[in-house]
Structure 1
Amino acid sequence: MRQRLASLRHLVRYLARVTRQDLPAMHTEWERLVALVEDIQRDVEALAVAHRQSLALMDVAQAMNSSLDLDTVLQMVIDYIIRLTQAERGFLMLREEQGELRTVIARHWEQEDLSPAELNFSRSIVQRVVATGEPVLTSNAQHDPRFRNGESVALYHLKSVICVPLKVKDRLVGVIYVDHRMRSGAFAPQHLGMLMAFAHQAATALENARLFQEVRRALAEVSQLKDLLDRVFASIASGVVTVDTEGRIVMCNRAAERLLCASFEEVKGYPWEQVLAPLASTLRSYWPVVVEEGREVVGVEVSPHWPGRGRVYWQLSMSPWYGENRQLLGATLVIHDLTEQRHLEEMQRIFERMVSPEVIRQLSWEQLRPGGERREITVVFADLRGFTALGEQVSPETLVTMLNRYLALAAGVLLEEGGTVDKFIGDAAMAWFNAPVPQPDHALRAVRAAWAMQQRLRQLHPQLPPAWRLGMGIGIHTGEAVIGLVGSERRLDYTVIGDAVNVAKRLEEAARPGQILLTEATWRLVQERVAVRPLPPLSVKGKKTPLRVYEMTGLR
């Protein structure tokens, strides 16, 4: 174009010097001038088109780079291509992992999606671009010797077509295909060049969008995994507390919040020696082992007095907390709460002192239902005679020592017979038979135990000072009662409630030292196995009719 402008300036200067004699020769120069102006005009128009296309490419690049959403980018790509090339339709196809092309966007000049019936294009042209990696421009595919034998070209009456590859680092990732089915020569070589430049921008945008989608999927997976780990971490029954190398609390789960009686927000960032003050001396001794030597500490049992909870029983484990490349971040403290277990163990030990080992071996804990059950039992009450008067003569310590000796004798005999020792009431002991494990001979077990108590008491007396030789009155009754767990969540007793207990207590109160009294209900169950002496009917508190009572004199 510079050469043409130079020629134009030369002609203008020549014409400025023309004289009348030169007019006949001007015709040729004039024609030359017109031709130069027309050429320059075409060059200017081409430059204007190229400028518009460059501006359009800049707009496209800016628009594509403004979004990382893959669907938005793909739709934007085709709409810009159709507008820039004035095509009728545009397709964007991406290559699957298996190598097959998949049409992901198909639009027409009105910027709307093509209907399924309009999804037809020249497969032979597309396959050629995929196979060679080179673009294709044809002004009339039906007359183009390269494609006129293609079935799709003839079937769909295709004319103007441009198909260019989408490449990322020399790797073909798809193709862009535009056509005009009504016009031949709709596309010029400059359209092809523009589309190639545009395809490069589009491929880059598509790759960025694809990478963004992968990153977003990865972040979603990581987020889901984190949520899962958070839920798992929160659901762990044991308390978990993480501490950084400076000794400040970084994280704790819900179980730890319950154990520490403090929320995570209340302890976050605080020194563990402050938050875990009752454990400070213990943890301080193990901190160098874990943090400096990188060793685990497992199964340390402690029983601190924790504010808001009282005495607790915990098992502690500490281990190093590592990050990437085994960088030490701090320590992890795991707290297993054994408080309830220790309380249950203590209850079991108490229960074992109440119930004979034989009964415990047969017992199912499911039988100890809260609320209890009605059952026939035989109740035994045994009380020391003269104990209150003796208490005025000796010290409390001596009195307790002597009492324990008598009650241990009574409890031992009752447990040997499979009885359940319910309680000690001062200098009296209460027990029952036939619960929690059924004992068909419960009445016989009760009278045997009572007889053995009196015999062993006589054997004990020679070992005691005369002032300590106390007698025991025993009352036995058989009747229905409710046996089970009574109380609240904080305090439960395994006990028996019913009139049978009251009757046995009244008989024990009426018995003289060394005497065993039975009600008629008990006597009828054991009459063939014991010797008795009938006594006058006994009037007792709470009963309108006097009770028929028998004194046991021996076993048969």
Structure 2
Amino acid sequence: MVLVNTPERITIELNRDVTSLGRLPECEVVLVDALVSRRHAEIRREENHYRIVDLNSLNGVFINNLRISDEVLAPGDVITVGGVQILFEDSLPGLPRPATPAADQESSPVYAALMGQEIVKPVTDVGQDLQLDYSPAAAPGLPAPMFEQKANQNFFILYQVARALNSTNSLDELLDLTLTLIFQVINVERGVILLLDEQGDLQPRAMRMRGQKPAELPEIAVSRTIARRAIEEKVAIITSDAKYDPRFQEGVSIVQYNIRSALCVPLWERETIRGVIYVDNLIQTYAFGEHDLDLLTAIANQVALAIRQDSLQRRMRQEAIFRANLERFHSPDVVNLIVQQSQALEQFSHQAEEREVTVLFSDICGFTRLAEKLSAQETAGLIVDYFNEMSKIVFHFKGTVDKFIGDALMAIFGAPISYGNDAELAVDTAIEMLRRMEEFRRAIDERKRFQIRIGINTGMVVAGYLGSSRRTEYTVLGDPVNVAARLQDVARPNTILIGEGTYQKVRGLFPIKDLGGAKLKGKQQEIQVYQVLTEGLHP
């Protein structure tokens, strides 16, 4: 007879009076399948024919898709035992013998059957077999009653997993519930779900051991040999006695932890592998069948899709927070550019680089005296209104509000996005600030009125999200920043002072007066200072 639905056709010669079929190692033909009973059936040789007898198996014996209990075999009959199909070819004396070479009779009958049926499947093949839309045409080899039983069981389990995906509130809860369902439907003793981290290493995220409470779980050592092959080759693997499976001879963990039966499937969706589901049995060999492998692979696909969805949702939340933080200091179009240019938000948020920027400082002249005349509430309200107006102008000219320091505002142009004319945009911003201040002063109570002064400088700085491990913010560091602040300090009310770097960028674009060298606080050498003449100017 020939096993026909195995990866390779296996021919077994019926050279005994009684040939037993089942999952037990003692059987002459060992069929590793969850739907096969321990002692499922016998094929008996009689005078001029063979007879197959069902040994009260749970799922029955079928000949040509008809269930039988005791039947004489005819050449060409297709016997179905569990999920295994066997083509019967008569080999009694006087009849032609099968052309396919027989298995080596000196070898163990268990090994002849098991290792000839090495169960390793590409995950995409399994996925096609276990779609939720079951129909008999999807598996023409299975008898209809058995197919319906298998399909209904698969459908129910996958339905339960799908419900779990929609009912859990966190990824960890989902993974734990997935293991609970697996333990209900597969004969496993231990189970672990491992996810790949950013470095490509497997990290356990959920684990379970039969008979152990979660709080009492010891560390579960996983066969990295099996897990590594599942990931690298994108295959689902079953081994019914891992200690003697030649596929994993080099796996120290298999011998050390006495792993007998093991199932390992990748968490897969399309071409992406996100980790593995690994289950094993340390006691029982032949604990798993191909049906278990297919089912676990289908579950792994649903879990991988849920992990992908969870990742997308977390990314969306991170982007929403990221955008909200950016919108406090950047114009909407700058925010969009930042998000578009940083495909990975995490990379952008920690990136620091040297670049040329123009820095603008403005502050309120005589703010201390002004605050003495107003109540705290009036002062706060005035500052908020002022900063709102000035921020709008910065955003309009594509700048970034770096920070508010007391009554001072610091803005940068050229980072994180450069427009090529950043110094010009900074001067336009300053001119518009002075113009808008005239309107602002006329609109408020006389005792609240004030004037501002502005300093601008251009140069190379370090720009990026800088700070401590607890808090970072986008800012720029460098001497050009200090010079801009000192220029603002020495500017007269309603004036704009610029440094040499800015002057070189905007000369010829605005009327500018050379004020000569000035000794600024904290600088050993004089700094060349220029004033932008604003009378009659509109940006």
TM-score normalized with structure 1 length: 0.45
Higher relative contact order (CA 8 A, sep 6+): 2
Q: Larger helix proportion, structure 1 or 2?
A: 1
TM-score normalized with structure 2 length: 0.46
Greater Rg over alpha carbons, structure:
1
